[in-house]
Amino acid sequence: MGVEGIGARVLRKEDKRFITGKGRYTDDMSVPGMKHAAFVRSPHAHAKITGIDVETAKKMPGVIGVLTGAELKADGIGNLICGWMIHSKDGTPMKMGAWSPLATDTVRYVGDAVVIVIADTKGQARDAAEAVDVSYEELPVVVKTAEALNEGAPQLHSEAPGNLIFDWDIGDEKATNDAFAGAAHVTKMDIVNGRLVPNAIEPRATLGVYDAGEDHYTCWTTSQNPHVARLVLSAFYNVAPENKLRVIAPDVGGGFGSKIFIYPEELICLWASKKTGVPVKWVADRTESFLADAHGRDHVTHAELAFDKDNKILGLKVQTIANLGAYMSLFSSSVPTYLYATLLSGQYDIPAIHANVKAVYTNTAPVDAYRGAGRPEASFVLERIMETAARELKVSPAELRRKNFIRTFPHQTPVIMNYDAGDFDATLDAGLKAADYEGFEKRREEAAKRGKLRGIGLSCYIEACGIAPSAAVGSLGAGVGLWESAEVRVNAIGTIEILTGSHSHGQGHETTFAQLATERFGVPIESVSIVHGDTDKVQMGMGTYGSRSGAVGMSAVVKALDKVEAKAKKIAAHLLEADEADIEIKDGNVRVAGTDKSLPWFQVALAAYTAHNLPSGMEPGLKEGAFYDPSNFTFPGGCHICEVEVDPETGVTEIIQFVAADDFGKIINPMIVEGQVHGGLAQGIGQALLEGTHYDDTGQLLTASFMDYTMPRAQNLPSFNIMTTETPCPSNPLGIKGCGEAGAIGSPPAVINAITDAIHNNNLTMPATPQIVWNAIQAAK
Partner 1 sequence: MAKVELFVNGRAVTGEAEDRTLLVHFLRENLGLTGTHVGCDTSQCGACVVHVDGRAVKSCTMLAAQASGSTITTIEGLSPNGELHPLQVAFRENHALQCGFCTPGMIMTSVDMIRRHPNGLDEATVRDQLEGNICRCTGYHNIVKAVLDASDKMGKGAVKAA
Give the interface with partner 1 as residue ranges (CB under 8 A): 11-12, 14-25, 27-28, 121-123, 199-203, 251-254, 256, 283, 285-287, 505-508, 671-672, 674-675, 678-683, 705-707, 711-715, 717, 719-720, 743
Min. distance of Cβ 773 from partner 1 in angstroms? 21
> Nearest 5 degrees, angle CA 15-CA 541-CA 234?
115
Q: 299 with 192: CB under 8 angstroms?
A: yes
Q: Is 391 exposed, middle or buried (0-12, 13-18, 19+ CB in 10 A)?
A: middle
At residue 63, what is the residue type?
V
- The SS3 of residue 130 is helix
Q: Could you give the CA distance from residue 61 to residue 185 in angstroms, rounded to a whole number?
A: 72
Q: Could you give the CA distance from residue 14 to residue 672 in angstroms, rounded to a whole number?
A: 12
Min. distance of Cβ 431 from partner 1 in angstroms? 18
**Of 59 and 713, which has the nearer Cβ to partner 1?**
713
Edge-to-edge strands, sheet with 583-586: 583-586, 589-592, 598-600
Those residues whose C-beta lies under 8 Å from the C-beta of residue 231, and which sit 6 or more positions away, are: 242, 480
Q: How many CB atoms lie within 10 A of CB 128?
A: 27
Whether the upstream peptide bond of residue 572 has omega within 30° of 0, thus cis, is: no
**Of 123 and 241, which has the nearer Cβ to partner 1?**
123
Pairing mode of beta strands 280-283, 35-41: parallel
Q: How many CB atoms lie within 10 A of CB 717?
A: 17
**Of 212 and 707, which has the nearer Cβ to partner 1?**
707
Helix (H) or strand (E) holding 657: strand 653-663
**Of 53 and 285, which has the nearer Cβ to partner 1?**
285
At residue 318, what is the residue type?
V
> Nearest 5 degrees, angle CA 515-CA 4-CA 580?
70
> Nearest 5 degrees, angle CA 675-CA 710-CA 101?
90
Per-residue CA distances from 393 to 191, 617, 627 (Å)? 20, 73, 51
**Of 393 and 717, which has the nearer Cβ to partner 1?**
717
Q: 551 with 493: CB under 8 angstroms?
A: no
Task: For 657, list phi and psi in degrees, rounded to 5.
Answer: -150, 150
**Residues linked to residue 585 through DSSP beta bridges, in sequence order:** 590
The conformational region for residue 91 under phi > 0 = left, psi -120 to 50 = alpha, else beta, is: left
Those residues whose C-beta lies under 8 Å from the C-beta of residue 121, and which sit 6 or more positions away, are: 36, 62
- The SS3 of residue 228 is helix
Those residues whose C-beta lies under 8 Å from the C-beta of residue 137, and which sit 6 or more positions away, are: 47, 48, 50
**Of 263 and 720, which has the nearer Cβ to partner 1?**
720
Q: Could you give the CA distance from residue 392 to residue 385 in angstroms, rounded to a whole number?
A: 10
Q: Could you give the CA distance from residue 240 to residue 235 in angstroms, rounded to a whole number?
A: 8
**Residues linked to residue 736 through DSSP beta bridges, in sequence order:** 665
Min. distance of Cβ 199 from partner 1 in angstroms? 6
Q: Could you give the CA distance from residue 484 to residue 98 in angstroms, rounded to a whole number?
A: 31
